[in-house]
């Protein structure tokens, strides 16, 4: 156990935001889900008692008959904003007084940094480079993430859960988003920051970052396992394999979104275009964890090999 190495990584000034994220994200996830649980309990109560549903103010916050529904922005909101601004400023000044922004040697194209890392918020993308070619990891995936985020409001046809925390009413969408945000984005950022060392090799926390470490990782491609050697054969095999994956993933996702009566009710509200769009994005999104798994478990690099691109 190399504590010095661990401390060096954790305390690197530019890594502090990720250390902060390790606290912030679980805290806010808990904070949100706690309110979701309370709301779900209230929803359960109201569903069981229609009479109560007619009179209840339907929030988990206290309410009394005489109270006004609205309050003045000045001072009730603006004092909070002012307070938040002060707290952030104080935090920022203390942080800036105690930790210096890093400055390395003068840029030198002849001396490659090892590891050469992108800024921490892009390390998820850099980590994807391990599993995909640069054009997928660096261009297609980011574009898909951006467009995928933008289509969310147009494919989420569930009218429930607008404006309050809930889990019960939006299980599928929340689970999907949490998986994408926390597992596929934040965990990848954490891996890229804390785990990846020189040569972008895997070093467990506490393991010394040895620049001369050589790992024998026999990278195979899926066609190799089936002893396909011709280029044409690899191309056709890959297309078939991707087709099978797409169908399997499509079927699995379909089963999931029609699993419960409630899910089926929401599914029935979906238009054909909405359904196709959602399936396309989810199938592509699932490709990432699948490739991560087959890479780490079976050391398989590519599924589909063509003269122009590899997947």
Partner 1 sequence: MARAGSAGKAGESMADEPSTNGEKKGLAALVEEAREDAKVLKEKAKEEVETLKQPQKTQLYKSIFRVKHDDSERSRALGVLSNVFFHLHPAKINRDAVRYAYTWGMGGITFYLFLVLTLTGVLLMFYYHPTKGQAYRDIIYLMNDVPFGRLLRNMHRWAAHLMVIAVWLHMFRVFLTGSYKKPREFNWCVGVVLLVLTLLLSFTGYLLPDDQLGFWAVTVGTNMANATPILGAGGPFGMQLGLTNYNDVRFALLGGSIVDANALLRAYIWHCLAIPIIASVLMGLHFWRVRKDGGISGPAPVMLESEIKPERKI
302, 310 Cβ separation under 8 angstroms: yes
Q: Answer whether the bond into residue 75 is a cis peptide, omega within 30°.
A: yes
- Binding residue for partner 1, selected from 9, 124, 127, 169, defined by CB under 8 A: 169
Please provide the DSSP assignment of 227-250 as one string.
T--SHHHHHHHHHHHHHHHHHHHH
Burial of 138 per CB tally in 10 Å (0-12, 13-18, 19+) = middle
Contact between 162 and partner 1 by CB under 8 A: the answer reads yes
Which residues, including other chains, have CB under 8 Å from residue 191's CB and lie 6 or more apart? 123, 127
Contact between 81 and partner 1 by CB under 8 A: the answer reads yes
Q: Answer whether the bond into residue 115 is a cis peptide, omega within 30°.
A: yes
Contact between 93 and partner 1 by CB under 8 A: the answer reads yes
Per-residue contact string for residues 227-266; x = within reach of partner 1 by CB under 8 A: -----------------------------------x--x-
Contact between 105 and partner 1 by CB under 8 A: the answer reads yes
Structure tokens at 185: 């984005």
Per-residue contact string for residues 173-212; x = within reach of partner 1 by CB under 8 A: -x--x---x-------------------------------
- Binding residue for partner 1, selected from 6, 10, 19, 140, defined by CB under 8 A: 140
- Binding residue for partner 1, selected from 54, 55, 64, 153, defined by CB under 8 A: 153
* Binding to partner 1 in span 35-74, by CB under 8 A: 35-36, 39, 42-43, 46-47, 53, 57-61, 67-74
Q: Which among 173, 304, 297 has a CA at the least distance from the CA of 245?
A: 304
Please give the size of the binding site for partner 1, defined by CB under 8 A: 104
215, 11 Cβ separation under 8 angstroms: no
Nearer to partner 1, 166 or 223 (CB): 166
Structure tokens at 57: 């103010």
Contact between 308 and partner 1 by CB under 8 A: the answer reads yes
Nearer to partner 1, 93 or 293 (CB): 93
| Smallest gap from residue 124 Cβ to partner 1 (A) | 11
Burial of 290 per CB tally in 10 Å (0-12, 13-18, 19+) = middle
| Smallest gap from residue 18 Cβ to partner 1 (A) | 9
Contact between 80 and partner 1 by CB under 8 A: the answer reads yes
């Amino acid at each position: 156990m190399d504590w010095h190495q661990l401390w060096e990584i954790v305390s690197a000034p530019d890594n502090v935001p990720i250390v902060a994220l390790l606290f912030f994200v679980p805290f806010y996830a808990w904070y949100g889900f706690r309110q979701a649980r309370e709301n779900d309990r209230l929803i359960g109560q109201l569903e069981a008692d229609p009479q109560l549903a007619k009179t209840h103010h339907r929030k988990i916050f206290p309410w009394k008959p005489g109270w006004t529904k609205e309050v003045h922005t000045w001072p009730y909101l603006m004092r909070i904003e002012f307070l938040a601004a002060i707290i952030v400023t104080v935090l920022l000044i203390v942080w800036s007084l105690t930790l210096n922004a890093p400055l390395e040697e003068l840029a030198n194209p002849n001396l490659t940094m090892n590891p050469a890392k992108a800024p921490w918020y892009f390390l998820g993308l850099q980590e994807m480079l391990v599993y995909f070619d640069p054009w997928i990891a660096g261009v297609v995936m980011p574009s898909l993430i951006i467009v995928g985020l933008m289509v969310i409001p147009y494919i989420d046809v569930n009218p429930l859960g607008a404006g309050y925390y809930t889990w019960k009413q939006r299980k599928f969408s929340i689970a999907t988003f949490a998986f994408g945000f926390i597992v596929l984005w934040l965990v990848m950022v954490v891996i890229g920051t804390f785990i990846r060392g020189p040569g972008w090799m895997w070093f467990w926390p506490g393991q010394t970052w040895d620049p001369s470490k050589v790992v024998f990782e026999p990278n195979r491609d899926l066609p190799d396992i089936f002893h396909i050697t011709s280029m044409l054969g690899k191309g056709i095999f890959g297309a078939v394999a991707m087709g099978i994956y797409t169908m399997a993933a499509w079927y699995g996702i379909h089963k999931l979104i029609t699993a419960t009566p409630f899910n089926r009710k929401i599914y029935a509200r979906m238009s054909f275009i909405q359904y196709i769009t959602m399936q396309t994005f989810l199938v592509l999104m699932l490709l990432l964890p699948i490739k991560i798994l087959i890479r780490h478990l079976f050391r398989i690099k590519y599924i589909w090999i063509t003269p122009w691109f590899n997947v």
